[in-house]
Structure 1
Amino acid sequence: MTSSFYLNLSKDLSLILDDADEYNVIIKVGENENTKEFRAHSVILRARSPYFKGALSSYWVTKKDDMIMFNKPNIKPDIFNMILRYIYTGELNLTEQLSEDILRLLIASDELLLEELVKFLQEYLIEQRKNWVHENFVFVLNTVCSLTSCKILQDHCFETICFDPELLLASDSFLKLDKDILYDLLERDDLLIQEIVVWDHLIKWGIEQTPGLGSLNCDRNKWNNEDYGALKETLNEFIPLIRFTEISLDDFNYKIKTYKDIIPNQIYEEIERFYYKITKDTLPTIFNISPRIGKLDSKIIKPKLAKIIINWIDKKDSFTLRYKFNLIYRGSIDGISTESFKNKCKGQVESLVLVKVKQINKIFGGYSSIGFNSIGDSLLRVYNGNLRFYHSSDNFVFSFENDEDTQDMKISRVKNHNKAIYDYHTTGFDFGFNSLFMYHDQCLYANNDDFNYESNINTNVIHDIEEIETFIVTKQ
């Protein structure tokens, strides 16, 4: 048996820090009048920080009278004091700290490669300083945009914007958005906003970012070819991210055509063909980006996988219609049982079910254009006692290896249209009798012994359900 005595260890190391006995490093932090020297021990710094392990090597250090001298002018003394105490004792008290200082602490921790502290500070800001982050998310994003270790905080800010973009667009802070952040934002499929609004604000941002334009030259009627050329250069990488097929013909005529000169010729020609249907093949090929799907309230999959499912529903490889997913059932909230599923997911309605299973990081699902149970008699094809089969030519079942991996995805479409859905009292849902079905409350089967669906996801393994969600699917 191994016993741990971390409390006393932390206290002892705290005494070493406070007394700085036999120190061999002097670290000068801050700049101008706000500077301070800290005394430390190289063996502790190198053991606790990969940054110091390299920085205090014989190739980097400057020594004076056998003392290692080190400068960090970009970190404020009060911030470094918290970092040094964390390095020595593993303790950190943020109760009285300003949110701005916690963000500065995060940046400094990233520079010093303190991964544990970086992860903790991101989660602390999101959970304990949520209101401040929401009120200052542009400042937060601009501050951490180049830090790959701060993805948790970046994703939180992006999700905040996507769910309520008016928070960003209603203020002038949008015009100060870093170009890399704006690019990542416009790439997202879950940005819940009309595409013409995206276009309008992109133009405003571009004008503000272009030298010679902005407040100095805001009257477009006075622009010359050089002005348009400068704006085109500013927005060149962003234009292909606009989902032009989501913009109405009127908005195209009044808001897009006026900026024809900043749009690459090939893209603009395709836009015109699409809007005026010059050829039969009106779907674009160069800028063919599928519509944004808005916020997907799923704990099981990411929007990237939702786009693939939409393509499967449309039976297309690229351009898709816009769909809305309305969550009506979640097992962790409503209870994982056949009874709960049937109560929440009944009626003849287009539906999508997603299932995350235990033990392995795998996701199963199925789309039914007719629903799962209590469908009615209009689509009833086979009825014999308790056997009730319903007709659909659009249904399919599928699997993913995890919540965002598209490398090993599989789909099985219905083959026997008259047995697309089996409605039985002991199953929550049942595609094709046994192609994919929920049985005994929390068990998922996918054996397809009756071959009513294609045999691409078949397995003899009986999976335990960890989470299950159902969405009503509607075209917009």
Structure 2
Amino acid sequence: YIYTGELDLTEQSGENILDLLVASDELLLEELFEHVQDYLIEKQTNWVRENFIFVLNTVFRLDNCKRLQDYCLESIREDLLPFFSSKSFPSINKQILLGVLKRDDLQIEEIIIWDYLIKWGIEQTPGLGNENCDRENWNYEDYEALKNTLNQFIPLIRFAGISHADFFDKVRPYRNIITDNIYEEIEEFHKDALPITTMLPPRIGLIFKSNIINQKLAKIIINWINNKDAMYINNRNGPFYKLNIIYRGSRDGINNRSFRIRCNGRVESLVLIKVKNTNKIFGGYSSIGFSSLGCGYIVEYGYRFYNSSNNFIFSFEDGDDTQNMKISRVVKETQAIMVHKENAFSFGWGSLVMSGNGLYANNSSQSYENKLKTATVYTIEEIEVFTVNRKCEDLIL
């Protein structure tokens, strides 16, 4: 390579390529370094994923290897269990594990994080591990040693995201490794669900599972629900949300009847729609739900209309769109939701409507702002509806 500028890595193992990355960094061969880093990400994806801990322990020593570091961490975030359950997990560098646990968007139950952190801490603590793994035989010094090992990690655990049962079964036995102020707040929280002050709130995005949008777009929608700018960053003092899936078209059927059966009643709801033959995503938030809304309606032109000042509809150009997204808030609050026997749901009179497997957004009555208006009739490929629950003590978005 030094003489010709040419390099063929197709026959090389992932480990050899990683060694080459380290060598090119040490020799200050910047062009080669960038090429090898990209090659590992693009051509050695499976090997990198199968050897995350080995790769991470190697590349986190390289200051210039930010792309590969970020790639590994993002992949881990999306599927954390293989990372934790790897035989190499006990050898993970402390700073790497700290960086992972500081993230708000880990998609795994908090109690699983706790379990693996305890296992890692035991392996890292002299005098514990294989030679002294039975907690029944531990003395005060053993607990103090484990406490010292994990003192930077314990404050990063989102105890508010751990159920009462798991707290008593799996956290309380390690009471001696948790500082008094944190443990006392955990106990009070689980007794009375008191406000969180010392503990970190549950992680963002832990339970949101969608076939249509990712966490990034979900956070934008939550910001819109809170009347914040799309890219607002939660300061941890705002409301938190739990989104429960109640309807998925690919599972329940894409038709009016299935929608009405599963999405009835006056409940705060979010609908997401992926349409065929395009990457576009549509959706809407209704603070009052969609059907079987009971009394409190007005009748216009023979149709029932329900009032809400908070409803909005939106669209994204694709699953990664944060530049061309559109939101249209309700203008005629008394026409926020229309109930019609031919529709599954209708935001306003034609602002965003599902009828059968068709989606319409012609905004014929100007019930909502006019940013989504289109004459196109879309065919629904996938649709999901979630109930929106605020200030949940367990898991949040």
Normalised TM-score (structure 1):
0.57
CA distance in 2, matches of 1:170, 1:431: 46
| Deviation, structure 1 residue 202 | 0.9
Q: Does 1:150 align with 2:62?
A: no
Q: What code does the residue aligned with 1:284 have? A: I
Q: How many residues align?
A: 358
CA distance in 1, matches of 2:22, 2:208: 30
C-alpha change, 1:376 and 1:274, in structure 2 (3 Å) is: closer
Three-state SS of the structure 1 residue aligned to 2:197 is: coil
Residue 337 of structure 1: aligned partner: none
Residue 322 of structure 1: aligned partner: 242
Residue 207 of structure 2: aligned partner: 294
C-alpha change, 1:213 and 1:411, in structure 2 (3 Å) is: farther
Deviation string 1:339-377 (CA, Å, 9 cap, x unpaired) is x98669832623333789xxxxx99753235666xx357
Residue 239 of structure 1: aligned partner: 154
Residue 431 of structure 1: aligned partner: 347
| Deviation, structure 1 residue 444 | 6.1
Unaligned runs of 5+ in 2: 228-235, 264-268, 390-394
Q: Does 1:199 align with 2:114?
A: yes
| Deviation, structure 1 residue 294 | 3.3
Deviation string 1:302-345 (CA, Å, 9 cap, x unpaired) is x2553564587699953535334578369xxxxxxxxx986698
Q: Which residue among 369, 382, 385 is the counterpart of 1:472?
A: 385
Q: Does 1:140 align with 2:52?
A: no
For the aligned residue pairs, the C-alpha RMSD in angstroms reads 5.0
Deviation string 1:87-113 (CA, Å, 9 cap, x unpaired) is xxxxx351x332333444455566633
C-alpha change, 1:306 and 1:152, in structure 2 (3 Å) is: same
CA distance in 1, matches of 2:43, 2:258: 37
Unaligned runs of 5+ in 1: 1-16, 18-37, 42-83, 87-91, 331-339, 357-361, 453-457
CA distance in 1, matches of 2:221, 2:22: 38
Residue 230 of structure 2: aligned partner: none
Three-state SS of the structure 2 residue aligned to 1:353 is: strand
Task: For 1:277-288, list aligned pairs within 5 A.
Answer: 277=192, 282-288=194-200
Three-state SS of the structure 2 residue aligned to 1:251 is: helix
Identity of aligned residues (%): 41
Q: Which residue among 268, 271, 291 is the counterpart of 1:352?
A: 271
Larger radius of gyration between Structure 1 and Structure 2: 1
| Contact in 2 for aligned 1:328/1:344 (Cα 8 Å) | no
| Contact in 2 for aligned 1:208/1:214 (Cα 8 Å) | yes
CA distance in 1, matches of 2:21, 2:130: 35
Task: For 1:269-418, list aligned pairs within 5 A.
Answer: 269-277=184-192, 282-291=194-203, 292-294=205-207, 296-297=209-210, 300-301=213-214, 303-304=215-216, 306-307=218-219, 309=221, 318=238, 320-325=240-245, 328=248, 346-347=259-260, 349=263, 350-353=269-272, 365-368=283-286, 375=291, 378=294, 381-385=297-301, 387-390=303-306, 395-397=311-313, 418=334
Deviation string 1:142-188 (CA, Å, 9 cap, x unpaired) is 333453121563146315533xx1x3444432222232332343344
CA distance in 1, matches of 2:98, 2:320: 21
CA distance in 2, matches of 1:112, 1:367: 52
Q: Which residue among 79, 82, 104 is the counterpart of 1:161?
A: 79
Residue 263 of structure 1: aligned partner: 178
| Contact in 2 for aligned 1:310/1:323 (Cα 8 Å) | no
C-alpha change, 1:134 and 1:406, in structure 2 (3 Å) is: closer
CA distance in 2, matches of 1:149, 1:464: 43
Task: For 1:177-196, list aligned pairs within 5 A.
Answer: 177-189=92-104, 191-196=106-111
| Deviation, structure 1 residue 206 | 1.1
